[in-house]
Amino acid sequence: REIRVWRNLRHPHVLPFIGICVLGPTTYMLSPWIEKGNALDYLRLNPDENCLKILLQVAQGLNYLHTFDPMVVHGDLKGANIFISGSGDALIADFGLSEMIIDPEGGSNPNQSNSTAFYAAGTRRWQAPELVNAETKEEAKRTTASDVFAFGRVMTELLTLQVPFAEIKNEAELIRKISLGELPRRPPASHSSHRHR
């Protein structure tokens, strides 16, 4: 599934897909080597970098996915899935939970068959409350709206240099807070104001 989605994407802020390599029973997906790592680690090591530039590039990449034909829902957007190129540009990566959505209205499509992971997987800290609280497969479906919610969490993550709810280590407590719609801690304005330039 990841190859099917990723191989068609071409955008300055989406990690390029080069091809595959099959060694025995294992298939490897190939992309360019990204020497600067993921966005969160990069900004922690380079706190004076322009965080807003990186966030704008992520937004542009996400807009490309959501306006691609057929539309692509990423499904697991977070700082660890955004890489930084040698020139300092953001690249959205990890399309393992992504799906191409044939029906742009988001309604049910009898010909659409999403994977179980598309409904059940993902990283809780970046998920919208409605996904965490979902009781049916349809309610748990990732959408462009859930991607945008995750992008909001990414904004907080990269501006604070901490994953959402960093202070919570217990999974049950994390799920409780998210399901109640509680928000991650925000830094004082002085903490991140220099990173807005």
Q: pLDDT digit string (tens) for 177-187?
A: 988 888 887 76
* Residue type for position 89: D
Predicted confidence (pLDDT) at residue 138 exceeds the cutoff of 90? no
**Which amino acid type is present at position 71?**
M
Contact 125, 174 (CB under 8 A): yes
Query: What pTM value is reported for the model?
Result: 0.82
All structural domains of the chain with their residue ranges: 2-196
- Count Cβ atoms below 10 Å from residue 24 Cβ, excluding itself: 5
pLDDT 10s digits, 84-111: 999 999 999 987 767 777 655 544 443 4
Tell me which residue has tokens 């937004």: 59
CA pair distance 126, 39, nearest whole angstrom: 15
For the record, the structure tokens of 176 come out as: 């409780």
Q: What CATH number labels 2-196?
A: 1.10.510.10
Cite the active site residues: 76
